[in-house]
Copies of this chain bind each other. A is one copy, B any other.
Amino acid sequence: MAEITLDHARTIISAALAKGRELNLKPLTVVVLDAGGAMKAVEREDGAAPGRIEIAGGKAYGAVMLGMGGRAQMDRAEAQAYFIAAANGALGGRMVPVPGGVIVKDGDVTIGAVGISGDASDQDEAAALAGIEAAGLTAVP
Task: Name the prevailing secondary structure of the A interface residues.
Answer: mixed
* CB atoms of A82 and B54 under 8 A apart: no
How many copies the complex holds: the figure is 4
State A5–B53 Cα separation when bound (angstroms): 15
Instruction: Categorize the interface residue count of chain A.
Output: 35 or more
Instruction: Known contacts A50-B64, A94-B90; decide if A6 and B84 are in contact (CB<8 Å).
Output: no
Residue in B44, B49, B55, B64 whose CB lies within 8 Å of A64 = B49
Q: Tell me the smallest distance from the CB of A97 to a CB of chain B, in Å.
A: 6
Is A65 engaged at the interface, CB distance under 8 Å to the other chain? yes
Using Cβ atoms and an 8 Å threshold, which residues of chain B touch A97?
A: 82, 86
List the B residue with the shortest CB-CB distance to A29.
B39
List the B residue with the shortest CB-CB distance to A10.
B43
- Which A residues, 26 to 51, have Cβ-Cβ distances below 8 Å to chain B? 34-46, 48-51
* CB atoms of A81 and B84 under 8 A apart: no
List the B residue with the shortest CB-CB distance to A67.
B49
Using Cβ atoms and an 8 Å threshold, which residues of chain B touch A64?
A: 49-51
